């Protein structure tokens, strides 16, 4: 009788268990992109590495299965990178617990030797399908994909990288072979699903939600052409994709809506993607990295102490005043572009010994932070112009100059000194280009100041590659601008500029 009762009770328990639905397995992907050496909170109080560490760990505590990824450009943008060359950022890749990372274009800023030196010690998987490093110092340091198993489900993560042409100095990726993302992304996802039999494919990319160069494919283009990609985690374009908006889902080649995300720049947001492994549904969440995480961030005294040692060097520059600014200039403003271009014109004749430099063209993307009103420090200027580029003087034909201006018009204008005035139409065609009031003559030659990044075809300025090189400096151009700012101070002058737009769409 007792054994019969046990059987009845066991049967009842099993029946009750069968009646309760089994919760589907989930994996939560924690993602960052384009953190750009923003170790401390930014000037607006957002971001900060310790806060991000607190967020990551909280998500990990709340979820059984997590994966943490970084979609590129972990470096370049603050004095931390200028002073330490990546030492801080690459150490933090493992300290923050990233499982996988992809390379952004700024990982190349100090060349392959530098990034390879750091990558050899980074435990996180380095993903890349479309960069072939065979025969370079990076050979063997990356892998195309990683597969994670959760019960009977398998999720594959693969990396897609941006085209280096026109974006990265050629010497900094010499020997690397690039494969266009549209030629390889969905093919990789198909291989993972049909041959390796994974259930879901996640593309971690650094090609942008939209394209800087219209001829280069972006994440949306890849999804539109795809049949096999289930989720895209992006970087590069600094886009904040808000969950629940029309931008967070993109139709693929079959009409299926694919979730896509990106969270701006400087580590001010973290995105999580909760993937239901039974249904494939993805729930996205955007988390602000703000002061509400400060108390939780106190849980990492060892990390804080390690950062403090590096911060001391940064603060020595950030607290060293060198000049004053008459006004606040946003880094993306016409005023900031005008100032750096006019400063270049003020610097270059004496520096180069070429007195007939006629105008300057600079890249607005090289201005990395705002110019404040009032005191300007050495560290601020280093942060504003952090790149290891040199001033150059070029002799260029009017025809090539007009071609270069057309490239600039294609991205909505760029930085140029007061001597130039340009208008263009909706198609990006130059409708007027004048130097000191005189029309640019395609048959004449002109003398201009710029930087080697543009002279070498960076920012797609291939017309500059056809110019004759008259002078190249051997000091970082940011250091020259710093010296110029100090001279202004000794002369009793302040940094100032105008809001005039020198390249206008009409």
How crowded is residue 460: how many other Cβ atoms within 10 Å of its Cβ? 19
Instruction: Give, in words, the CATH class of 321-505.
Output: alpha beta
Instruction: State the average pLDDT for the chain.
Output: 94
CATH entry 3.30.450.20 includes domain 26-311: no
Q: Residues 227-257: pLDDT tens digits?
A: 999 999 999 999 999 999 999 999 999 999 9
Residues 355-409 have pLDDT tens digits of 999 999 999 999 988 999 999 999 999 999 988 899 999 999 999 999 999 999 9
Q: Which residues contact 160 (CB under 8 A, 6 or more apart)?
A: 102, 128, 129, 130, 181, 184, 185, 203, 204, 205, 206, 207, 222
Show the tokens assigned to 309.
């040692």
Distance of alpha carbon 315 from alpha carbon 72, whole angstroms: 26
pTM of the model as a whole: 0.87
Q: The tokens 């920012």 sit on which residue?
A: 459
Per domain, the residue ranges of the chain are: 26-311, 321-505
Whether residue 3 is predicted with pLDDT greater than 50 in this model: the reply is no
- Interval 81-129: pLDDT, tens: 989 999 999 999 999 999 999 999 999 999 999 999 999 999 999 999 9
The token pair that represents 372 in the structure block: 């404040």
**Looking at residues 430-437, what average pLDDT do you find?**
97
Q: How many CB atoms lie within 10 A of CB 151?
A: 10
């Amino acid at each position: 009788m007792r054994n019969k009762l046990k059987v009845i009770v066991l049967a009842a328990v099993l029946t009750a268990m069968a009646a309760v639905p089994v919760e589907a397995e989930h994996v939560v992907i924690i993602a960052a992109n384009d953190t750009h050496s923003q170790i401390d909170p930014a000037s607006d109080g957002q971001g900060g590495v310790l806060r991000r560490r607190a967020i990551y760990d909280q998500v990990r505590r709340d979820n059984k299965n997590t994966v943490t990824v970084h979609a590129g450009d972990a470096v370049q943008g603050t004095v931390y990178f200028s002073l330490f060359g990546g030492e801080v950022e690459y150490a933090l890749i493992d300290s923050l617990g990233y499982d996988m990372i992809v390379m952004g274009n700024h990982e190349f800023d100090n060349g392959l030797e530098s990034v390879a030196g750091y990558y050899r010690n980074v435990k996180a998987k380095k993903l890349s399908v479309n960069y072939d490093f065979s025969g370079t110092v990076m050979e063997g340091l990356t892998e195309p994909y990683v597969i994670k198993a959760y019960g009977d489900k398998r999720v594959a993560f693969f990396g897609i990288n941006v085209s280096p042409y026109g974006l990265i100095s050629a010497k900094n990726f010499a020997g690397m072979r690039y494969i266009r993302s549209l030629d390889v992304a969905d093919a990789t996802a198909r291989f993972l699903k049909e041959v390796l039999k994974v259930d879901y494919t996640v593309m971690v990319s650094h090609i942008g939600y939209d394209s800087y160069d219209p001829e280069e494919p972006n994440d949306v283009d890849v999804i539109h052409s795809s049949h096999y990609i289930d989720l895209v985690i992006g970087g590069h374009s600094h886009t904040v994709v808000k969950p629940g908006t029309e931008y967070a889902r993109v139709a693929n080649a079959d009409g299926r809506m694919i979730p896509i995300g990106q969270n701006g720049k400087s580590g001010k947001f973290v995105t999580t993607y909760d993937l239901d492994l039974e249904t494939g549904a993805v729930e996205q969440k955007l988390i602000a990295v703000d002061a509400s995480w400060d108390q939780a961030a106190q849980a990492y005294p060892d990390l804080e102490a390690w950062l403090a040692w590096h911060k001391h060097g940064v603060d020595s520059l950030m607290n060293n005043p060198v000049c004053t600014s008459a006004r606040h200039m946003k880094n993306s403003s016409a005023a900031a572009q005008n100032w750096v271009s006019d400063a270049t014109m003020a610097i270059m004749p004496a520096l180069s010994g070429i007195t007939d430099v006629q105008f300057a063209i600079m890249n607005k993307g090289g201005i990395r932070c705002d110019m404040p009103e009032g005191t300007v420090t050495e560290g601020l200027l280093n942060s504003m112009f952090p790149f290891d580029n040199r001033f150059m003087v070029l002799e260029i034909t009017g025809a090539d100059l007009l071609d270069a201006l057309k490239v600039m018009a294609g991205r909505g204008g760029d930085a140029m000194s007061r001597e130039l005035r340009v208008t263009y139409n909706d198609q990006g065609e130059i409708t007027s280009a004048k130097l000191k009031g005189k029309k640019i003559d395609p048959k004449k030659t002109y003398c201009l100041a710029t930087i080697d990044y543009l002279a070498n075809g960076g920012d797609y300025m291939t017309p500059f590659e056809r110019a004759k090189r008259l002078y190249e400096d051997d000091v970082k151009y940011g250091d020259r601008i710093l010296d110029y700012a100090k001279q202004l101070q000794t002369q009793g002058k302040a940094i100032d500029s105008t809001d005039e737009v020198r390249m206008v769409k009409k």
